[in-house]
Amino acid sequence: MKVSLDLDMSAAPGTPPGARADTLALTLVSHTNIGKTTLARTLLGRDVGVVRDATHVTEFADAHPMIEAPDGARLMLWDTPGFGDSVRLVRRMRQSGTPLGWLLSQVWDRWRDRAFWASQQALRNVRDEADVALYLVSAAESPEAAGYVDPEMELLAWTGLPVIVLLNQLGGPDAPERLQAELDRWRTRLQGVAAVRAVLPLDAFSRCWVQELVLLREIEQVLPEARRPLMARLRAAGRQERLARLGRSAQLLAASLARVAAMVQPVEDSGALRGLVRQVGSALGLGRDEETPLARAGRELLARLDGEIRSSTSELLHLHALEGQAGADEILERVGAAFDHQSRVAPAPAAIVGGLVSGALAGLGADLASGGLTLGGGLIAGSVLGALGAAGLAHGLNLVRGRDGSRLLLQDSALEALLTHALLRYLAIAHFGRGRGEWSGHASPAHWRERIEAALQARRALLDEAWSERTDLPATEARLHALIDTLLREVLVALHPAAADELAVSPRSS
């Protein structure tokens, strides 16, 4: 989409010639084939332009609305052609008394002199439209090897605009320590360039939205004083939108996990002691291979869990304007979840029942009592007996006296594992850049899990309380919402310390 911004003579001092008083503009510039259009798609949350692994794919400067405030103010993002042969161009420009004027007055054929023509288009856009230039570099190469940076910084210096350097092509979400080391290398490389006001990470494939908030903050700080109030309003609008999405994500995950916690799967009564022997024997790998009522109930519960995970993932993707497959297979395989099997125990001879349980659940010290089995308050603690079906999930067998029937449900340990993976799913989606195409599940970085587990451990009491009244769905959901919202903010800050102030909000504001 090409956007024409009408000249507004009421614009504040320091406003670009083509800008309106209620509009700010950012221009993405870089050497050709560094990923400007890919990053533009990620920042805008929609597909724009053409993405192809080739030089000079973007031919013209196009503008797209990035943020719109309630009062009508707009932040525009320009995608421009990439710089071409910058070294040769700068050499020729130095020969002129007015380098920028010479460049913009030249007429080059866009096919025969494509490198110069593209550079002219990019610089013209920066001069005429931009308040701030966002200059991308490839972190895939060392700062010392990027020979195009110095001449292109000289080109941008002639525009007189503040420049924020963005590290693209970082190769995936790095641990904060490694990312900081990469930032330090580039900051050292660029410390003598007066136009460069900040160096930030913003990978088109693996950025997180909280890094966008840091970018908006830096933009406000580098603008001329007269333009900062406008940027403050735009920044507030962008922050509110993103924090609202975070709150909705926490609510969505809480509702899903509350439904999972309340899942109960009845187990068909298979005939008192005979059925119990067959079910326990099957779980231990003994007896015939026929599907027992317990195995069938487990399979049905797994199917319900699979459907819930797929549904909540699809909702998260939609909330973040992403498309892709919301598979649950990998999650189910990793959960290693346990089932609680609450079973009515039929009256039986003491020797038979005692021998069965003490043999199958060795070391639990099961005692025989009148009409059933007891251990302390009447429960034989759940113990992992083996794999249940093709999904490879372990199940615990709890025998409870006085039940009207048998039923299967997830243990607290399984729910905690599912909570961990729900948070990992959120992080994967929050860090997913549109340049990668459709979303698909993939292995999470180890440091994500480490941060999540540390945050969970610090809130052990709240975590245990979350599952205390599973049948009270609204209460469980409310407890989980508060817990998940806190956990997400804490983990995001741990992963992106520079965004700490952006995620610090007053209670219940999200």
Whole-number Cα distances in Å, 333 to 302, 325, 327, 418, 466? 11, 17, 12, 11, 24
Bridge-based pairing of strands 132-138 and 23-30 is parallel
DSSP letter for 324, please: B
Within 8 A by CB and 6+ apart from 212, the residues are 43, 202, 238, 242
Tokens 């083996």 correspond to 386
**Residue 83 DSSP SS3:** strand
Interatomic CA distance for residues 491 and 74, integer angstroms: 31
Task: Give the global pTM.
Answer: 0.78
Within 8 A by CB and 6+ apart from 364, the residues are 357, 358, 375, 380, 381, 383
DSSP letter for 439, please: B
Interatomic CA distance for residues 135 and 501, integer angstroms: 25
Interatomic CA distance for residues 134 and 180, integer angstroms: 20
**Residue 44 DSSP SS3:** helix
Q: How many C-beta atoms surround the C-beta of residue 8 within 10 A?
A: 15
**Residue 395 DSSP SS3:** strand
Burial of 393 (0-12, 13-18, 19+ CB in 10 A): buried
Please give the single-letter amino acid code of residue 482: A
Among positive and negative, which fits the CA dihedral 442, 446, 448, 454? positive
Burial of 141 (0-12, 13-18, 19+ CB in 10 A): exposed
Q: What is the pLDDT of residue 439?
A: 72
The whole-number mean pLDDT for each consecutive block of 10 residues of the chain, a chain of 510 residues, reads 34 55 91 82 76 44 88 92 78 75 65 68 81 92 88 88 93 84 93 94 92 98 96 97 97 97 80 52 54 77 87 92 67 46 40 32 28 27 28 32 62 87 93 75 84 94 88 94 96 95 60
Q: What is the pLDDT of residue 353?
A: 31
Domain extents in the chain: 23-207, 243-503
User: Nearest-CA neighbor of 416 among 458, 453, 471?
Assistant: 453
Q: What is the pLDDT of residue 243?
A: 97
Which architecture, in CATH terms, is 23-207? 3-Layer(aba) Sandwich (3.40)
